[in-house]
Structure 1
Amino acid sequence: MGTGSSILSALQDLFWLSKSKVEKQLQIISVLQWVLTFLVMGIACTLILMYILCTDCWAIAALYLAWLVFDWNTPKKGGRRSQWVRNWAIWRYFRDYFPIRLVKTHNLLTTRNYIFGYHPHGIMGLGAFCNFSTEATGVSQKFPGIRPYLATLAGNFRMPILRDYLMSGGICPVNRDSIDYILSKNGSGNAIIIVVGGAAESLNCTPGKNSVTLRNRKGFVKLALRHGADLVPVYSFGENEVYKQVIFEEGSWGRWVQKKFQKHIGFAPCIFHGRGLFSSNTWGLLPYSKPITTVVGEPITIPKIDNPSQKEVDFYHSVYVDSLIKLFDKYKGRFGLPETEVLEVN
């Protein structure tokens, strides 16, 4: 009897070990597909479409291009989100790889619209995507009645297939037309998530550093005033820990090239690495499995002013900066940072 129990116990241990390994591999696959989507999907789909146009299947590509022309302005009008895509199981594996968590600190009224300022950018904004473009961390359950729209570069929506994939997750272009439409013609209960620091902030992200590019970023505050949309500071602890980057000093040739790309194309090329596909001890494109905890702060009530003055914009910007610093200071100790850590605001 004892021998039989020992064999059964050993088989059970082997089964659970195998299940654990399978889940880990699924987590790696889920993150890898997203990284490849982020880096190459737009260009790859464009090249494939051009190739199909030169084959006997050209009619398929022609039909899609005709649809693309017809559907061109959809991203500017709130996009075409799919709850089915947002609830894919792959996003839960994506979440558990790091893992990623979403922390709610205050309720949000469905009678108001919101602009979330997301900080920091990191290399790829992994926390922003998982928390607000999927249901993996339960954003709809935590904030019932609120529709999140993650804003990203408008250029992504000019690329075939990629644009449809992004829209299915509730992602929209970060331009005035799109934001104006969502905040003025889409009812209430909308939350636009803007990664305020953008490409400039990504150039300085590195493990162990908590800094945000915000001092001269005031456009989102002006938009909030024009629409009477409440501002919500959001800080993602651990966003800068998942990749290691080569930081070029100001004045160096490397930083000059990065800034030129940022100015003319909208993004800054970074030299970074994570872990390898088969081993965490080698370099590769996979991010390191470090926890990311995104804390959504208290909303700042913003009045509706059609033509806000610079003084009014400056005032509410300073209120926002103070709120973000207070949010960071309140939660930094809970997520592994020393109480002496200071958020650097540039």
Structure 2
Amino acid sequence: MKTILAAYSGVLRGTGSSIFSALQDLPLGLWPCRSKMEKHLQVISVLQWVLTFLAMGAACTVLLIYIFCTDCWLIAAMYTAWLIVDWNTPKQGGRRSSWVRNWTVWRYFRDYFPVKLIKTHDLLPSRNYIFGYHPHGIFCFGAFCNFGTEATGFSKKFPGIKPSLATLAGNFRLPVLRDYLMSGGICPVNRNSIDYLLSCNGTGNAVVIVVGGAAESLHCAPGMNCVTLRNRKGFVRLALQKGSLWAHSGTFTLYLSSYNRNNIQNRFLHIHRSDLVPVYSFGENDVYKQVIFEEGTFWRAIQKKLQKILGFAPCLFHGSGLFFSNSWGIVPFCKPITTVVGEPITVPKIEDPTEEMVDLYHDMYIRSLQSLFDKSKTRYGLKESDILHVL
């Protein structure tokens, strides 16, 4: 006990001691070995995120309603009033917290699988980007760890780029959960939020969109390399529409049309555009086992119906148990997740792109994603014969 108290005092004094190291000094009979302790912390870190995703919003809503019925109703009223005032913040860039993104718990989260982020090309801070993330998996563990935290060192690998992971807008209507998500730089996947990040927030922004969404989660299972993309063209249209070309000199800003921009040479010229970047996470589908119902069956029809109502697909899945790895539970399997960020696809700015133009760049994106998959698959656990199925 004296050792723990001394370590805690050292933390307060800033000497660098930690309670974790103090616990290691205890007799082995009183505390698990270091490797077992780290494994327990990794499981807890992942489990808290799963429970947060599944229950935090509903639990906090019920708690808020309950507090209204108690003598502490004034606290609930004050929070509700602030919630109303702050309602549009998620649509205006959110409220990112570097402190939350660098929590130690995310490093344990990363090491559980483990999750890795692979950079293949440099990204210019003078541009904005739309990352297309594939596949969805069940909980998008790779997307959250790489782009919602700094556990894999995104800011160091892509200096000057600020990622914003886009998720269901409904999550930002739930008390407390909305603030928790915004602190990680997570934003609603709706037009207003993405417009703000790409058009009104300067350059160096990367909006991460899980293109396949809920529909793709219904196809995820270990060993499956399948993405829902053929009819998902909205993100391509958005990339063509977003961005602005402007020249600055002195105290005024001159906006230039896309037709004469190539003819103007000026040392003050800056180009804001939103390039497309394919991203593929190897292993995202392997962390849970899912019962996949065939198309046309009653249960698949129920899943699709609930997907339209709720915004997400209710999947029948399982991982390992909390205490026994060979039992069933909601703890994901320890399978490596490797997220590879591909080469940017430069797109022109077209305010009203035609369907032919959208199809052209959509086809380019699909080819780029398939090329990224084929070049990387044998490095990250797949066979040369494995192919990417695009639905």
In the other structure, the counterpart of 2:298 is 253
In the other structure, the counterpart of 1:233 is 278
Give the deviation of 1:264 after TM superposition: 2.0
Give the deviation of 1:12 after TM superposition: 12
- Among 86, 106, 121, which residue is 1:91 paired with? 106
How big is each residue's C-alpha offset from its partner over 1:277-299, in whole Å with a ceiling of 9 and x where there is no partner? 01110000000010000000000
- Among 164, 170, 187, which residue is 1:155 paired with? 170
In the other structure, the counterpart of 2:221 is 206
- Among 169, 174, 178, which residue is 2:193 paired with? 178
For 2:175 and 2:26, how far apart are their aligned partners in 1?
48
Aligned pair 1:45/2:45, yes or no? no
Letter matched to residue 333 of structure 1: T
161 and 17 in structure 1: CA distance in 2 versus 1, 3 angstrom threshold? closer
Q: Unpaired runs of 5+ in structure 1?
A: 1-10
Aligned pair 1:26/2:41, yes or no? yes
Give the deviation of 1:336 after TM superposition: 0.9
Aligned pair 1:318/2:363, yes or no? yes
Count of matched residue positions in the alignment of Structure 1 and Structure 2: 336
Give the deviation of 1:168 after TM superposition: 0.2
How big is each residue's C-alpha offset from its partner over 1:100-120, in whole Å with a ceiling of 9 and x where there is no partner? 000000000000000000000
Aligned pair 1:331/2:346, yes or no? no
Aligned pair 1:77/2:92, yes or no? yes
Q: Unpaired runs of 5+ in structure 2?
A: 1-24, 243-272
For 1:17 and 1:303, how far apart are their aligned partners in 2?
58
In the other structure, the counterpart of 1:63 is 78
Helix, strand or coil for the counterpart of 1:166? helix
For 2:379 and 2:350, how far apart are their aligned partners in 1?
38
How big is each residue's C-alpha offset from its partner over 1:25-75, in whole Å with a ceiling of 9 and x where there is no partner? 000110010000010111000000000010011111111000000000000
In the other structure, the counterpart of 1:8 is none
Give the alignment of 1:301-312 within 5 angstroms. 301-312=346-357
Compute the TM-score of the two structures, normalised by the length of structure 1. 0.95
In the other structure, the counterpart of 1:104 is 119
How big is each residue's C-alpha offset from its partner over 1:249-296, in whole Å with a ceiling of 9 and x where there is no partner? 111111111111111221110010000001110000000010000000
How big is each residue's C-alpha offset from its partner over 1:222-249, in whole Å with a ceiling of 9 and x where there is no partner? 0000013100000000000000001011
Give the deviation of 1:309 after TM superposition: 0.6
For 1:277 and 1:242, how far apart are their aligned partners in 2?
14
Letter matched to residue 94 of structure 1: F
How big is each residue's C-alpha offset from its partner over 1:148-173, in whole Å with a ceiling of 9 and x where there is no partner? 00000000000000000000000000
Helix, strand or coil for the counterpart of 1:47? helix
Of structures 1 and 2, the larger Rg is shown by 2
More helix, by proportion: 1
Helix, strand or coil for the counterpart of 2:352? coil
For 1:148 and 1:93, how far apart are their aligned partners in 2?
21
In the other structure, the counterpart of 2:327 is 282
Letter matched to residue 303 of structure 1: P
For 1:13 and 1:141, how far apart are their aligned partners in 2?
39
Helix, strand or coil for the counterpart of 2:299? helix
In the other structure, the counterpart of 2:17 is none
Q: Taking every aligned residue pair, what percent have the same amino acid on both sides? A: 71
How big is each residue's C-alpha offset from its partner over 1:179-203, in whole Å with a ceiling of 9 and x where there is no partner? 0111000000000000000000000
Helix, strand or coil for the counterpart of 1:229? strand
Give the deviation of 1:13 after TM superposition: 12
In the other structure, the counterpart of 1:4 is none
